[in-house]
């Protein structure tokens, strides 16, 4: 399996997942034009894309979904509540609904959605499996759920939210209600909580750990990486995803 984060953060998210000539996009908060530029930069073949899955209806995850799906003839896959909540922004597309907690097959990929704790109608994380192993993808959550902890055991790759440094958030410029929202159980995951979860999920066959959805205001890549390294006793070198450029194409 190959994967690449084309953008990650509150100004746009898109994760490419590819196996056996077929590709899936998880979220698209980039314009269709910017998506194509970044896919080309990363050396990805847009012709392989079959579908876009949506994690939740926040704009940084769906603003580009409609135009891209219409331009490339892609199916949009999400649960019914998210479809409904996202429909005004996305517009008309070919839709396929998946029940949260169920799994579906897309070519060689088996995709399961797992509910997460965030302030959206029915937000999910993803467990994406193939014969090569499993990728776990979880951003935009205030706190990890027990089910996610259980399903994410034995991963080959983990993309995990490292949203903010608690001190930077509390001392930073956000108004108090927004600070409270970010750090709440339905907000975003802090570096220390994310590092603790990464350490819990780490095992000797975990090949890639990607730190994602960093706040540009309340975090710094070096702080997120330091938190991960310390919690994991440097057992794996984390890669920090960026808002502005694609990551490398990871493979396992
Ligand atoms: Zn987000
Ligand atoms: Zn969100």
| Helix (H), strand (E), coil (C) string for 69-99 | HHHHCCEEEECHHHHHHHHHHHCCCEEEECC
Lowest mean pLDDT: which of 66-70, 91-95, 105-109? 91-95
Q: Distance, CA 64 to ligand 1 centroid (Å)?
A: 13
Single pTM value for the model: 0.98
Q: Distance, CA 143 to ligand 2 centroid (Å)?
A: 13
**% of the chain residues with pLDDT over 90:** 99
Model confidence at 164, pLDDT cuts 50, 70, 90, reads: very high
Model confidence at 160, pLDDT cuts 50, 70, 90, reads: very high
Give dist(CA 161, CA 40) in Å, integer: 25
Region of 139 (left: φ > 0; alpha: ψ -120 to 50; beta: rest) is beta
Q: What is the pLDDT of residues 101-139, one digit of tens each?
A: 999 999 999 999 999 999 999 999 999 999 999 999 999
Q: Distance, CA 20 to ligand 2 centroid (Å)?
A: 30
For residue 60, which ligand has an atom nearest its CA?
1
Give the pLDDT mean for 69-98: 96
Q: Distance, CA 85 to ligand 1 centroid (Å)?
A: 15
Q: Distance, CA 183 to ligand 2 centroid (Å)?
A: 13
Residue 217's pLDDT is 97
Q: Distance, CA 9 to ligand 1 centroid (Å)?
A: 6
Model confidence at 197, pLDDT cuts 50, 70, 90, reads: very high
For residue 12, which ligand has an atom nearest its CA?
1
Residue 246's pLDDT is 98
Q: Distance, CA 98 to ligand 2 centroid (Å)?
A: 19
Model confidence at 226, pLDDT cuts 50, 70, 90, reads: very high
Q: Distance, CA 195 to ligand 2 centroid (Å)?
A: 20
Residue 85's pLDDT is 97
Q: Distance, CA 55 to ligand 1 centroid (Å)?
A: 9
Give dist(CA 193, CA 143) in Å, integer: 8
Give dist(CA 118, CA 169) in Å, integer: 18
Give the pLDDT mean for 14-18: 98
Q: Distance, CA 72 to ligand 1 centroid (Å)?
A: 24
For residue 10, which ligand has an atom nearest its CA?
1
Q: What is the pLDDT of residues 179-194, one digit of tens each?
A: 999 999 999 999 999 9
Q: Distance, CA 44 to ligand 1 centroid (Å)?
A: 23
- Ordered domains of the chain (ranges, CATH): 2-246 (3.60.15.10)
Q: Distance, CA 80 to ligand 2 centroid (Å)?
A: 17
For residue 213, which ligand has an atom nearest its CA?
1
**Residues in the 5 Å CB sphere of ion ligand 1:** 60, 140
CB atoms under 10 Å from CB of 162, counted, come to 32
């Amino acid at each position: 399996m190959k994967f690449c984060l084309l953008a990650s953060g509150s100004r746009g998210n898109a994760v490419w997942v590819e196996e056996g000539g077929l590709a899936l996009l998880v979220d698209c908060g980039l314009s269709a034009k910017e998506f194509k530029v970044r896919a080309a930069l990363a050396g990805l073949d847009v012709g392989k894309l079959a579908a876009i899955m949506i994690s939740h209806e926040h704009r940084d995850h769906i603003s580009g979904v409609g135009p891209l799906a219409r331009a490339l003839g892609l199916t949009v896959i999400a649960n019914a509540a998210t479809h409904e909540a996202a429909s005004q922004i996305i517009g008309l597309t070919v839709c396929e609904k998946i029940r949260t907690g169920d799994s579906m097959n897309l070519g060689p990929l088996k995709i399961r959605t797992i509910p997460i704790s965030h302030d959206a109608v029915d937000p999910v994380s993803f467990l994406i499996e193939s014969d090569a192993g499993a990728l776990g993808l979880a951003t935009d959550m205030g706190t990890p759920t027990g089910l996610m902890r259980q399903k994410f055991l034995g991963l080959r790759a983990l993309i995990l939210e490292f949203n903010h440094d608690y001190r930077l958030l509390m001392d930073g410029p956000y108004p108090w209600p927004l600070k409270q929202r970010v750090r709440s159980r339905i907000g975003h995951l802090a570096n220390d909580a994310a590092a603790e979860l990464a350490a819990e999920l780490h095992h000797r066959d975990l090949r890639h750990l990607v730190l994602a959805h960093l706040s540009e205001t309340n975090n710094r890549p070096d702080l997120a990486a330091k938190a991960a390294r310390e919690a994991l006793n440097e057992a794996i070198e984390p890669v920090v995803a960026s808002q502005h450029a694609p990551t490398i194409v990871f493979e396992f």
